[in-house]
A and B are shown apart, each in its own frame.
Chain A
Amino acid sequence: MIDVKNLHKSFGDKQVLCGIDEHIEKGEKVVVIGPSGSGKSTFLRCLNLLEKPTQGSIVFEGSDITAASGKELNRIRQKMGMVFQHFNLFPHLTIRKNITLAPVKLGLMSQAEADKKASELLLRVGLPEKADQYPAQLSGGQKQRIAIVRSLAMNPDVMLFDEPTSALDPEMVREVLDFMKQLATDGMTMVVVTHEMGFAREVGSRVLFMDEGRIVEQNKPEEFFAHPRDARLQEFLSKVL
C-alpha cells in the first residue's frame, strides 16, 4: 500500500532522515517509536508530503507521491487521514462543520450526506451532543477524538497519527487510545508515531525503532519488546518501560 524507498530529508544542513526503506501493507498497524529528534515525526509527515523529501520515493496505491503536485497530490491526501499532536481542529467552526467541511468542499458529499455521516461518526465516538459546540468548549481528549473523526469522514485508506496523545493530560490518554484500538480492530491501516509502549505492544502489528534518521530495528511487538537486539533500542526500552 505504501512503499518507501531510500527516503532522505534534510532541513538546511541538518540531515533528519538518512535513507529509509519501508513497506506498509494494507491492514497493518505500524507503530514507530524512538527518542525525540530521531526523525520519526518527519518520516510520518513525509508520507503525505507535509514535508517534501530531499531524495527518495514514496509510492502510495500505485502513484508516486513525491512526483505528484497540485490536484493529484490533493487527491492522494484525501485517502490519507492525518492526526496531529495538537489536534489542529478549526476553532472558528462547530464540531459538525469541522467534520463536514472537507468532504463537502471537495464535492465528495452533499451537506446533508456529510451531516449524516458526521452524526454517525459522533455517535460512534460517543460525542453526539457536541455537534453544535466549538472546539474551545471541548477537553483535550474530546478534541483529539473529533480530530480522528474529522479524518475518518473522508473515508481514508490509511490513517497517520503523529504523537496523538503527547499533548493530552494523562487521564485523557485512555479515551483516545481506546478509540484508536477500535479503529485498528475494524481493519484500518495505521501508522502511529507514539511514546505509548502499551499501545505499541497491544495494537501494533509491527513496531519500528528509529534513531538518528534510520530505522534501526523492527519486529512483531512480542519479539520486539521481549528480545531487543540493537544496543540503542535496549537502552531506549530500559528508560521508557
Chain B
Amino acid sequence: MSWFTGAWERFSNAFLEKDRYLSFLKGFGMTLEISLFAVILGVVLGILLAVAKYMAANHKSCRPLGWIANVYITVIRGTPVYVQMLIIYYLILTARGIPAIVSGVLCFGINSSAYVAEIIRAGIEAVDRGQMEAGRSLGLSEMQTMKEIIMPQAVRNILPALGNEFIVLIKETAVIGGITVLDVTKAAMNVGASSYDYLTPLLIAAAMYLVVVIILTKLLSMLERRLAKSDRR
C-alpha cells in the first residue's frame, strides 16, 4: 500500500503539479505534428524515388534517374538520423532563421523517404510478373496495367511495411530535442529537471508513445483486413 501511495505521489508530482501535464500535452502535440508532416513528406518523396527506380529498371533511357535515386537512398540509409538532423538544422536554421521544427520535419521526412522508396519498390516487385504480361497481352498500356492491376496488388504488400515505417518514424522523432524542439521527450526531461525526478516523467512520455503505436497498429490491421477481401475462399 505504501508503495502504491509513493508511486501516486511521484506521478502526481511529475504530471499534475504546477500544471505539468500541459507541458506533456504540448510536447506530445509537437511529436504528433512533426511525425504527421514527416510521414507525408516521406511518402511523397518515397513515391518519387520508387518511380525513378522502377523507370530505371524497366527503361534503358531512364538509367541515370536510377543512379541518382540509389545514391540518395544509400547515403540516407547509411548515416545516423541524429547526424542528419544536426546537419540539416545547422544548414538551414543558422543560415536563414527558419524555425527548428521545419528542420525536424525535413530531416525525418527525407530520412523516411529512403525507406519508403525501398518498401514500395519491393511491394511492386513482389507482384507476380505474369500480371503485367496478362495486362499487356490484353492490349492495356504499361501505365494502365500499373494503375489497374499491379498497384492495387502492390498496395497490399506495401501497407503493412509502411505502417511499421510510420511507427519507427514516430519513435525516432524523440531525438528532435537535440535541435531545441520541445517534443514530448524533451518536455519530460524539462519536467524532470524542475521536479528532481527524471524517471517518472520519462515513463509517462514512454506511455504516450506506446499508446499512439498501439492505436496505429490496430488501425493498420483493420485496413489490412479490408484489403484482403479478395483472398476469401
Contacts and interface: CB of A to CB of B under 8 A. Distances in A.
Interface of A: 48, 50, 70-71, 74-82, 84, 86, 88-93, 101-102, 105-106, 134-137, 150-151, 154
A165 B139 CA distance: 24
Contact of A106 (B131, B133, B139): B139
A79 B148 CA distance: 20
Interface in B130-149: 130-131, 133-141, 144, 148-149
B144 A88 contact: no
Interface in B24-45: none
A180 to B, nearest CB: 17
Contacts of B233: 136-137
B64 interface: no
B178 interface: no
B158 to A, nearest CB: 14
B230 A106 contact: no
A154 B138 contact: yes
Contacts of A78: 138-139
B138 A77 contact: yes
B128 A88 contact: yes
Contact of A86 (B130, B148, B156, B231): B130
B18 interface: no
A81 to B, nearest CB: 8
11 contacts: A50-B136, A74-B136, A78-B139, A84-B134, A88-B130, A88-B133, A90-B131, A91-B230, A92-B153, A105-B144, A136-B233
Most chain B Cβ neighbours within 10 Å, of A81, A105, A150, A151: A105
Contact of B230 (A75, A82, A92, A150): A92
A90 B137 contact: no
Given A136-B231, A136-B232, A90 B138 contact: no
B99 interface: no
A106 B140 CA distance: 7
Contacts of A88: 128, 130-131, 133-134
A50 B133 CA distance: 7
B138 A93 contact: no
Given A74-B139, A136-B230, 14 more contacts: A50-B133, A78-B139, A82-B134, A86-B128, A86-B130, A88-B131, A89-B134, A90-B134, A92-B230, A101-B140, A101-B148, A102-B139, A136-B231, A136-B232
A75 B230 CA distance: 30
A106 B143 CA distance: 12
Contacts of A150: 138
Contacts of A79: 139
B137 A50 contact: yes
Nearest to A137: B233
B11 to A, nearest CB: 49
Given A77-B136, A105-B144, A93 B230 contact: yes
Contact of A77 (B137, B144, B229): B137
Contact of B232 (A48, A77, A137): A137
A51 to B, nearest CB: 10
A71 B136 CA distance: 11
A71 B141 CA distance: 8
Nearest to B231: A136
A78 B139 CA distance: 4
Contacts of A77: 136-139
A74 B145 CA distance: 12
Contacts of B136: 50, 74, 77
A70 B144 CA distance: 12
A79 B137 CA distance: 9
A75 B232 contact: no
A135 B133 CA distance: 17
A219 to B, nearest CB: 29
Contacts of A89: 134
A136 B138 CA distance: 21
Contacts of A50: 133, 136-137
A221 to B, nearest CB: 27
Interface string B197-233: 0000000000000000000000000000000011111
